[in-house]
Chains A and B, each alone.
Chain A
């Protein structure tokens, strides 16, 4: 029975199941009296590395943030467990249209599990490293400027019916569409 259960949850999850699972996390975080948001961990790490000495923005009591750091430590372990023991039998089933379009960019799908175009994003590829630096910087900067990322705004903020969160999510899409349809064709096309 145990192995049946593992086989069952090792299948790719239907979007509705995934959505319910995320809502469950929202419930537990709310019930535990926490405002769920991941990107604040970046600020915490900056503080731990001494950023509070150069900017007041990093003046935070890290003791109050232990829960969040434990959460992301768990997320890393969860990723490891999922990859090691719960891997899907097939790569991610993205749409045929996307596969055909990626071919024009020289990205032949599938690559591995279908989680990352590893031919570009690997530590041996300078272009991939440069893109990782640019992308990471934009996410880190934008998340702090907007005071939240996908978890804080799209999940927590929208669950609390917050207008600033809705505007931020609209911003996520403005930036995402611009990158996907205007900038990436220049980088990869």
Chain B
């Protein structure tokens, strides 16, 4: 039952997102107004440390629990697609002040409006599946 571990990591994630205040609409708004270092500090620390950890695992061949070397399947580089997709995502992120992880965490807090947000995110995902062949990739 290794999958149970992911449930526990999820619980930790929910607590971390809450105590870091990354779930706060106000923190996201403040970030996009450049009025506090808080969110930049969190993301910066997480990325620098994450890159060091992942880099060390690759460099010293520290393998996964299954004895497999750490790899990443690169995505095709398409500046147009990723800028466009990222911008669409960013418009929504700034408006509702939550990206997908925090959406679930906010639901756990009992902010029921996130039922609507998540339902609509599902609709957005579904719509992408329908129109993806007509979009630049």
Contacts and interface: CB of A to CB of B under 8 A. Distances in A.
Interface of A: 9-10, 12-13, 15-23, 25-35, 38-39, 41-43, 45-46, 49, 51, 54-55, 57-58, 66-68, 70-83, 86, 88, 92, 94-95, 97-98, 101-102, 109, 114-118, 121-123, 128-129, 131-147, 149-151, 153-156, 158-165, 167-181, 183-184
B45 A135 contact: no
Given A15-B37, A138-B88, A155-B46, A80 B3 contact: no
B25 A75 contact: no
A168 B78 CA distance: 10
Select the residue from A28, A97, A102, A175 with max chain B CB neighbours within 10 A. A175
A164 B41 CA distance: 22
A75 B14 contact: yes
Interface residues of chain A: helix, strand, loop or mixed (majority): helix
B86 A175 contact: yes
A162 to B, nearest CB: 6
Contacts, number: 487
A183 B120 CA distance: 20
A28 B37 CA distance: 27
Contacts of A134: 92, 95, 120
A66 B116 CA distance: 24
